[in-house]
């Protein structure tokens, strides 16, 4: 019964919450199924079953390194971006100074808060008035003699607004400061190139049509790395614990597929998103698209429907089979307006009326049209 209901739901559903998580790609499912049906051992075991797993793990490492054009040794498999960020941030200790922004995901902010409790000084930067990203100038002005780390997201998961990582990387390299990048929202949306000054970057499998429970840190050898999980010597002693081979295999396929889909997928998402926004702007007068005039991810649209309660709209949309979000998935259960929008200087009422719509390469023009139609209808009724 549950399965039937779910099947019906997913058929009629328009899923526009791809910055929270994405559906598994069919090819990823296929590769994971194949793996499940094989008899595999622990990659650390010496027998043939173990060695078979070890070979698969090495293959995954090789493939990912080739796709992302990085050194194999720089890859650390984790359970997701949260673990990767906790590990990398936890590698620093007092006394030092770290620069970050108030717009970061909690997966970065929370471990930074822990460091702060242990005496590390942290500067939380805010965007300038009317802007949605942290400027190079703001970072430059915040640098102190003992600044060791700048930690920032490449793209904001709530607004899609891009950070100018290339320029910041150049600055950090010049000033001999480590740069840690949260690349979660960016991967899979645009072709990726890692500027030289990036010391470490993290990604999450479930945001790119791969399985949950798998993620990645790419860490240059000069980064002052200290493992979060200690125990066995897996992953070159950088992350103890038996590897999640099934998740890693799924993630590897998801990463391998990026080259196949990009840059066409970017254009596809951008055209759906732009079409969706245009339809809404043509029919509703009182809307604000956050970060519209800035460089944004091609898939994300964060919109304030002025005079409408965002949460009510979100629930009504869900009842009509449309999935959107009220902010970051980790906090969207809360009734509070988005911290990111508030920290961008958005008025509290406006923030409360805002919803995030995030497309993936699997969405269609028909879905964008249908969703816009339903939203226009609901806004008229609720307004
Ligand atoms: N960073 C950003 C920008 C995210 O959107 C998320 C997840 O929502 C994370 C980090 C945490 O990723 P994970 O779910 O893999 O732990």
pLDDT score at 328? 57
pLDDT score at 230? 94
The answer, yes or no, to whether residue 331 has pLDDT greater than 70, is no
Q: Tell whether ligand 1 has an atom less than 6 A from the beta carbon of residue 157.
A: yes
Write out pLDDT tens, residues 91-103.
999 999 999 999 9
Q: Is the dihedral of CA 233, 239, 240, 243 positive or negative?
A: negative
Q: Tell whether ligand 1 has an atom less than 6 A from the beta carbon of residue 107.
A: yes
Write out pLDDT tens, residues 152-209.
999 999 999 999 999 999 999 999 999 999 999 999 999 888 999 999 999 999 999 9
Half-sphere exposure of 2 (CA within 13 A, CB side): 0
Q: Which of 207, 211, 216 to mutate to test the pocket of ligand 1 (most atoms within 8 A of CB)?
A: 207
pLDDT score at 291? 96
Q: Which atom of ligand 1 is nearest to the CA of 205?
A: 15
Residues marked active site are found at 330
Distances (CA, A) of 51 to 1, 13, 196, 237, 244: 42, 43, 35, 18, 15
pLDDT score at 11? 52
The answer, yes or no, to whether residue 297 has pLDDT greater than 90, is yes
pLDDT score at 192? 87
pLDDT score at 326? 86
CA distance 127 to 138: 8
CA 81 to ligand 1 centroid distance, Å: 5
Residue 5 pLDDT class (50, 70, 90 cuts): very low
pLDDT score at 308? 96
pLDDT score at 333? 52
Q: Which of 17, 22, 80, 214 to mutate to test the pocket of ligand 1 (most atoms within 8 A of CB)?
A: 80
Phi, psi of 207 (to 5 degrees): -90, -5
Mean residue pLDDT of the chain comes to 94
Q: Are 226 and 28 in contact (CB under 8 A)?
A: no
Residue 383 pLDDT class (50, 70, 90 cuts): confident
Residue 79 pLDDT class (50, 70, 90 cuts): very high
Q: Tell whether ligand 1 has an atom less than 6 A from the beta carbon of residue 151.
A: no
Which residue's alpha carbon is at the smallest distance from atom 16 of ligand 1? 82
Q: Which of 186, 158, 360 is nearest to 265 (CA)?
A: 360
């Amino acid at each position: 019964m549950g399965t039937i209901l779910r099947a019906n739901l997913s058929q009629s559903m328009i899923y526009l919450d791809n910055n929270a998580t994405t559906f598994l790609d069919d090819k990823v499912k296929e590769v994971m199924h194949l793996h499940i049906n094989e008899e595999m051992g622990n990659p650390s075991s010496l027998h043939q079953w173990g060695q078979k797993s070890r070979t698969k793990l090495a293959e995954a490492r090789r493939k990912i390194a080739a796709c992302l054009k990085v050194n194999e040794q720089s890859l650390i498999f984790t359970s997701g971006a949260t673990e990767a960020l906790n590990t990398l941030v936890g590698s620093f200790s007092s006394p030092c100074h770290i620069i970050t922004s108030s717009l970061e995901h909690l997966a970065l902010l929370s471990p930074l808060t822990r460091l702060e409790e242990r005496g590390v000084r942290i500067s939380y930067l805010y965007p300038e008035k009317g802007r949605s990203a942290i400027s190079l100038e703001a970072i430059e002005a915040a640098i102190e003699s003992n600044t060791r780390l700048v930690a920032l997201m490449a793209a904001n998961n709530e607004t899609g607004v891009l950070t100018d990582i290339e320029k910041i990387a150049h600055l950090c390299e010049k000033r001999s400061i480590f740069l840690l990048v949260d690349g979660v929202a960016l991967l899979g949306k645009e072709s990726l190139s890692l500027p030289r000054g990036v010391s470490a970057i993290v990604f999450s499998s479930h945001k790119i049509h791969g399985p949950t429970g798998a993620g990645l840190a790419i860490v240059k050898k000069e980064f002052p790395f200290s493992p979060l999980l200690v125990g066995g010597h897996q992953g070159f002693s950088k992350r103890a614990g038996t590897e999640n081979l099934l998740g890693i295999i799924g993630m590897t396929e998801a990463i391998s597929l990026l080259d196949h889909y990009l840059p066409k997928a970017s254009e596809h998402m951008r055209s759906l998103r732009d079409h969706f926004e245009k339809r809404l702007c043509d029919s509703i007068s009182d809307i604000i698209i956050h970060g519209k005039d800035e460089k944004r991810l091609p898939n994300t649209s964060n919109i304030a429907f002025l005079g409408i309660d965002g949460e009510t709209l979100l629930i009504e949309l869900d009842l009509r089979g449309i999935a959107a979000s009220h902010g970051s998935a980790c906090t969207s259960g809360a009734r509070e307006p988005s911290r990111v929008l508030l920290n961008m200087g958005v008025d509290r009422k406006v923030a409360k009326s805002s919803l995030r719509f995030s497309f993936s390469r699997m969405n269609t023009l028909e879905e964008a049209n249908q969703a816009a139609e339903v939203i226009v209808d609901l806004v008229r009724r609720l307004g």
